[in-house]
């Protein structure tokens, strides 16, 4: 029965290559087009000039260039691919020191019988980080730890990934003062910074709580029957921790020293991203320091450490290469000059509908656009100069247009394969199709709730 079930689900690489083929067909079927773009003097972001869309010469992607796009995607996403390699391998080294095993064993002894409470506590904490500081990439280092913790508690890797990635993504999407999404979109819409915060706080609590309840429901189901787990039968490698062994593990002084060092590095990472604007290069360098020194603190010799890194790199190859394959989709659309065509084609019909329908349409359009522009600030710079004036014509407040952008950009960050979702799945060793089976039903439940908040915003003329 299990082999029959597996045969019905295409391999991750097959799914992603199918999307590349779809994009290639689009380059033949859709007219090529571009917006004019200028640099905003205040934000220094490149923004779209409203009303500047024009058709350009058709540039369909050939059969040969379809396969070249995969190579180009790997190169274009190279910084992200190698980031995942280095971060995972560094955490793999930390796992091999067994310091985290000892810590998780201690935590399990303390929380025995109340393990389920760990889920809401950490999900709300990560959601606050996503909402207040725009935290997202900073949480990558926590993923392996929480995956190991979840497995040891009798759950699975999806629960561990949810505690971190689901929590922070929901907080990021429903943020009340995220400077990289809400703040930037309000700037482009010429609204007061972080205005309508009260409305957003209510929205944040409702939507994050839905995610917490969804995760706890799934966790309870698979704890009662492990065969119900979407990850049942998937080899988790070094991230799979044995509950009974952990309970018997001793938390030594050397273990504590390794963990103190790891916590200090993660604290430095959060500070660097928030205060210094660190990104993938700096974060990867920081994790390399963490892995190397954690290995030495635990007593590893240089050759042992190098071998450990090689094992970690082997472990994450599948997940890391998913990222490059996903980028091939955008490469095809970029070379076919159809990204701006899709954005223009989606936005134009809104003017034909009454404001109630148009507001909901904005939400769906922004969600779709996030597939093509998976950067929150990039999507704000591209769409808000179009959507803000359009909202004036429709009789919708600009605050409502910002809300549509915020929801559309944020919640699909853990849905579309062109976002950072493959990175998170790669680090957690969760096949992306397994995550979709877990998250898509929730996303379909989430859409009507988003629509209700949009309708309320229109009804109260949200300012």
Q: Give residue 6's pLDDT.
A: 43
SS3 (DSSP) at 33: strand
Of residues 374 and 24, more confidently modeled = 24
Which strand (E) or helix (H) includes residue 38? strand 37-39
User: Is the pLDDT score of 68 beyond 90?
Assistant: yes
Q: Give residue 27's pLDDT.
A: 92
Q: Give residue 449's pLDDT.
A: 95
Which strand (E) or helix (H) includes residue 79? helix 78-96
On whether the CB atoms of residues 220 and 415 are closer than 8 A, the answer is no
Q: Give residue 436's pLDDT.
A: 94
Residue for token pair 């999307």: 19
CA dist 424 and 250 (Å) reads 31
Model-level pTM? 0.70
Averaged pLDDT of the chain: 83
User: Is the pLDDT score of 329 beyond 70?
Assistant: yes
User: Is the pLDDT score of 99 beyond 70?
Assistant: yes
On whether the CB atoms of residues 261 and 297 are closer than 8 A, the answer is yes
Q: Which of 424, 411, 371, 444 minimizes the C-alpha distance to 173? A: 411
Average pLDDT score over residue span 112-134: 83
Average the pLDDT over each of 199-208, 386-395, 437-446 and give the range with the smallest value.
386-395
The C-alpha angle 66, 336, 188, rounded to 5 degrees, equals 130
State how far the alpha carbon of 404 is from the alpha carbons of 35, 244, 292, 391, in Å.
21, 48, 44, 11
Q: Which of 234, 237, 300, 289 minimizes the C-alpha distance to 99? A: 300
Average pLDDT score over residue span 153-174: 91
On whether the CB atoms of residues 320 and 426 are closer than 8 A, the answer is yes
Q: Give residue 245's pLDDT.
A: 64
Q: Give residue 347's pLDDT.
A: 75
User: Is the pLDDT score of 415 beyond 60?
Assistant: yes
Domain ranges of the chain: 12-46+62-337+423-430
CA dist 180 and 174 (Å) reads 13
Q: Which of 100, 90, 106, 98 minimizes the C-alpha distance to 299? A: 98
User: Is the pLDDT score of 7 beyond 50?
Assistant: no
Buried b (16+ CB within 10 A) or exposed e, 99-135: bbbbbbbbbbeeeeeebeebbbebbbebbbbbbebbb
On whether the CB atoms of residues 67 and 335 are closer than 8 A, the answer is no
On whether the CB atoms of residues 124 and 138 are closer than 8 A, the answer is no
Length of the chain in terms of residues written: 463
Average the pLDDT over each of 138-142, 185-189, 294-298, 440-444 and give the range with the smallest value.
138-142
Question: Which tokens is 222 given?
Answer: 């698979």
pLDDT band at 2 (very low <50, low <70, confident <90, very high): very low
pLDDT band at 288 (very low <50, low <70, confident <90, very high): very high
Q: Which of 269, 311, 274 minimizes the C-alpha distance to 287? A: 269
pLDDT band at 166 (very low <50, low <70, confident <90, very high): very high
SS3 (DSSP) at 77: coil
CA dist 272 and 281 (Å) reads 12
pLDDT, tens digit, 9 for 90 and up, residues 356-371: 888 899 899 889 888 8
Strands 37-39 and 33-34 turn out to be unpaired
State how far the alpha carbon of 279 is from the alpha carbons of 56, 69, 418, 427, in Å.
35, 25, 18, 17
Question: Which tokens is 301 given?
Answer: 């010799």
Question: Which tokens is 136 given?
Answer: 């997202």
Of residues 305 and 100, more confidently modeled = 305
User: Is the pLDDT score of 5 beyond 70?
Assistant: no
pLDDT band at 238 (very low <50, low <70, confident <90, very high): low
Q: Across 107-111, 115-119, 282-286, 287-291, which has the greatest mean pLDDT?
A: 287-291
Q: Give residue 384's pLDDT.
A: 78
């Amino acid at each position: 029965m299990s082999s029959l079930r597996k045969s019905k689900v295409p391999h991750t690489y097959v799914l992603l290559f199918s999307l590349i083929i779809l994009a290639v067909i689009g380059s033949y079927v859709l007219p090529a087009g571009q917006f004019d773009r200028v640099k905003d003097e205040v934000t220094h972001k490149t923004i779209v000039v409203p009303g500047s869309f024009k058709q350009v010469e058709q540039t369909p992607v050939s059969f040969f260039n379809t396969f070249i796009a995969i190579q180009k995607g790997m190169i274009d996403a190279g910084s992200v691919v190698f980031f995942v390699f280095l971060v995972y391998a560094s955490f793999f080294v930390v796992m091999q020191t067994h310091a985290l095993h000892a810590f998780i064993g201690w935590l399990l002894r303390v929380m025995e019988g109340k393990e389920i409470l760990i889920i809401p506590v950490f999900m709300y904490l990560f959601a606050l980080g996503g909402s207040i500081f725009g935290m997202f990439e900073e949480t990558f280092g926590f993923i392996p730890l929480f995956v190991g913790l979840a497995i040891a508690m009798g759950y699975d890797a999806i629960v561990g990934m949810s505690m971190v990635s689901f929590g922070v993504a929901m907080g990021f999407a429903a943020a009340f003062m995220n400077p990289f999404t809400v703040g930037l979109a309000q700037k482009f819409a010429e609204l007061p910074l972080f205005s309508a915060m009260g409305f957003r706080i209510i929205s944040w609590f409702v939507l994050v709580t839905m995610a917490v309840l969804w995760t706890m429901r799934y966790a309870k189901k698979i704890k009662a029957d492990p065969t119900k787990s979407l990850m049942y039968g998937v080899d988790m490698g070094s991230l799979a921790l044995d509950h009974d062994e952990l309970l018997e593990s001793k938390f030594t002084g050397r273990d504590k020293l390794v963990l103190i060092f790891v916590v200090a590095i993660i604290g430095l990472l959060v500070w660097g991203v928030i205060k210094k604007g660190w990104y993938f290069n700096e974060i990867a360098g920081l994790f390399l320091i963490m892995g190397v020194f954690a290995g030495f603190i635990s007593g590893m010799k240089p050759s042992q450490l190098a071998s450990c890194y090689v094992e970690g790199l082997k472990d994450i190859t599948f997940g890391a290469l998913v990222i490059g394959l996903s980028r091939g989709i955008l490469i095809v659309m970029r070379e076919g000059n159809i990204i701006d065509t899709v954005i223009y084609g989606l936005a134009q019909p809104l003017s034909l509908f009454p404001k109630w329908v148009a507001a909901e349409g904005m939400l769906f359009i922004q969600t779709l656009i996030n597939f093509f522009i998976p950067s929150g600030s990039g999507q704000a710079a591209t769409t808000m100069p179009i959507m803000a004036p359009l909202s004036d014509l429709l009789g919708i407040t600009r605050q409502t247009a910002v809300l549509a952008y915020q929801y559309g950009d944020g919640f699909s960050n853990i849905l579309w394969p062109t976002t950072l979702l493959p990175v998170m799945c790669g680090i957690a060793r969760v096949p992306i199709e397994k995550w979709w089976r877990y998250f898509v039903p929730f996303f379909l439940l989430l859409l009507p709730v988003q629509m209700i908040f949009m309708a309320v915003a229109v009804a109260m003329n949200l300012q």
